[in-house]
């Protein structure tokens, strides 16, 4: 093996490391307890009992963001916190996350080795490419952004917290994904399959690895699937459409299989991280506990009331 091939192998390995570690670790982090004197976001400052807290109480939630100014401020603050957590998360990786990273990295490396052959599995006719490009518009930012805005506007107009939260978290995941993917694309510099010269080459100024459409589609799908997980058909539809976007980018000859797989994994973990970190857990689990004591009838117990 030539020295050039060895160097390229090391470079590709470093790209895969940089790609998966932040997304997997950030996406699977469990909330940690903040300092005991940190007030919970949205809590009553006059409350006599300390609120149950976790790491998410240090950030902003999407509740009560009907006005543009507080919404913008919260989104920008959360995105800054997200990026900080994503890019520093490799320093906090545990064994399980390392195993997951190794598995996804191995799959990506295997796909990279077979990309130049697998891209010719289809006839790659003009009609196929045209249809692929048309369908893949489902994952374009100009398509996904109105969907996110639609969730938010419906939530505001109908006073529906879940829809409003889906819009805010979806938008946040979309921006987080775009920032990460642009950085990785610039580092990888891989040429697209339809490039005029050196298709598939890394570090050649291209923008093929990873698939930005897949990142955006899977990030939003991850948020929607979690927010509406009580409706069993929603995750299937959300992830199914995200998969269609990736397949369309493949048939359009805009990406290799490894580009799409990597982008899909990135999008999924980024979406999950945003939900795990910024979901208004107080709104999903808010309730009251009232003791019941009636000595005359020897009735003792508690009454649980939850606000959905």
Identify the residue with better confidence: 100 or 44. Answer: 100
Task: Give the pLDDT of residue 283.
Answer: 45
Task: Give the pLDDT of residue 72.
Answer: 81
Cα angle: 60, vertex 65, 67; to 5 degrees: 135
- Mind listing the pLDDT tens digit for each residue in 175-192? 999 999 999 999 999 999
Does residue 283 lie within any of the structural domains? yes
Does residue 4 lie within any of the structural domains? no
Q: How far apart are CA 151 and CA 223, in angstroms?
A: 12
Q: Please state the rounded mean pLDDT for residues 108-125.
A: 94
Does residue 5 lie within any of the structural domains? no
**Residue 299 binned pLDDT confidence (cut-offs 50, 70, 90):** low
Identify the residue with better confidence: 39 or 25. Answer: 25
- Mind listing the pLDDT tens digit for each residue in 53-110? 444 444 555 555 557 777 788 788 889 989 988 888 777 778 888 888 889 999 999 9
The DSSP annotation for 246-302 comes to HHHHHHTTSS-HHHHHHHHHHHHHHHHHHHHHHS-HHHHH-EEEEEEEEGGGTEEEE
Q: What range defines the domain where residue 22 resides?
A: 13-306
- C-beta of residue 54 within 8 angstroms of C-beta of residue 34: yes
Task: Give the pLDDT of residue 129.
Answer: 95
Q: Please state the rounded mean pLDDT for residues 207-216.
A: 96
Task: Give the pLDDT of residue 49.
Answer: 40
Q: How far apart are CA 198 and CA 210, in angstroms?
A: 17
Does residue 3 lie within any of the structural domains? no
Identify the residue with better confidence: 31 or 168. Answer: 168
Q: What percent of the chain has pLDDT over 70?
A: 69
Task: Give the pLDDT of residue 95.
Answer: 81
According to DSSP, the residues that pair with 294 across neighbouring strands are 299
Q: How far apart are CA 305 and CA 308, in angstroms?
A: 10
pLDDT above 80: residue 307: no
Residue 198 region by backbone torsions, left for phi larger than 0, else alpha for psi between -120 and 50, else beta: left
Task: Give the pLDDT of residue 97.
Answer: 81
Quick check: helix, strand or coil at residue 304? strand
Q: How far apart are CA 27 and CA 288, in angstroms?
A: 31
For 222-255, letters b (16+ CB in 10 Å) and e give bbbbbbbeeeeebbeebbebbbebbebbbbbbbb
Task: Give the pLDDT of residue 66.
Answer: 58
- Mind listing the pLDDT tens digit for each residue in 263-286? 999 999 999 999 988 886 544 443
Looking at the whole model, is its pTM more than 0.85?
no
Task: Give the pLDDT of residue 286.
Answer: 38
Does residue 34 lie within any of the structural domains? yes
- C-beta of residue 226 within 8 angstroms of C-beta of residue 277: no
Q: How many domains does one find in the chain? A: 1
Q: Please state the rounded mean pLDDT for residues 108-137.
A: 94
Identify the residue with better confidence: 221 or 84. Answer: 221
Task: Give the pLDDT of residue 14.
Answer: 54
Task: Give the pLDDT of residue 134.
Answer: 95
Cα dihedral value 23, 195, 198, 212, nearest 10:
0
Q: Please state the rounded mean pLDDT for residues 141-157.
A: 92
Does residue 269 lie within any of the structural domains? yes
């Amino acid at each position: 093996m030539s020295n050039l091939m060895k160097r390229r192998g090391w470079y590709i390995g470093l790209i895969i490391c940089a790609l998966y570690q932040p997304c997997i670790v950030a996406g699977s982090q469990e909330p940690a307890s903040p300092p005991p004197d940190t007030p919970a976001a949205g809590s009553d400052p006059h409350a006599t009992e300390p609120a149950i807290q976790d790491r998410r109480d240090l950030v902003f939630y999407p509740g009560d963001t009907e006005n543009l100014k507080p919404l913008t401020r919260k989104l920008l603050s959360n995105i800054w916190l997200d990026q900080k957590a994503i890019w520093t998360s490799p320093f906090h990786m545990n064994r399980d996350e390392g195993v997951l990273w190794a598995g996804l990295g191995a799959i990506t490396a295997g796909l990279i080795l077979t990309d130049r052959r697998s891209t010719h599995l289809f006839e790659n006719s003009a009609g196929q490419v045209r249809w692929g490009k048309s369908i893949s518009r489902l994952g374009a930012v100009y398509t996904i952004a109105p969907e996110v805005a639609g969730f938010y506007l419906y939530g505001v107009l109908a006073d529906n917290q879940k829809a409003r939260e889906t819009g805010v978290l979806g938008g946040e995941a979309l921006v987080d994904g775009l920032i990460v993917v642009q950085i990785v694309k610039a580092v990888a510099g891989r040429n697209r399959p339809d490039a005029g010269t050196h298709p598939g080459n890394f570090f050649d100024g291209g923008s093929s690895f990873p698939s930005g459409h897949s990142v955006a589609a899977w990030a939003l799908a991850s948020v929607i699937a979690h927010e509406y997980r009580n409706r069993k058909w929603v995750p299937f539809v959300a992830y199914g459409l995200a998969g269609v976007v990736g397949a369309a980018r493949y048939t359009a000859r805009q990406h290799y299989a490894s580009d799409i797989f990597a982008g899909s994994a990135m999008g999924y973990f980024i979406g999950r991280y945003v939900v795990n970190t910024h979901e208004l857990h107080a709104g999903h689990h808010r309730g009251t506990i009232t003791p019941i004591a009636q000595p005359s009838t020897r009735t003792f117990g508690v009454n649980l009331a939850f606000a959905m």
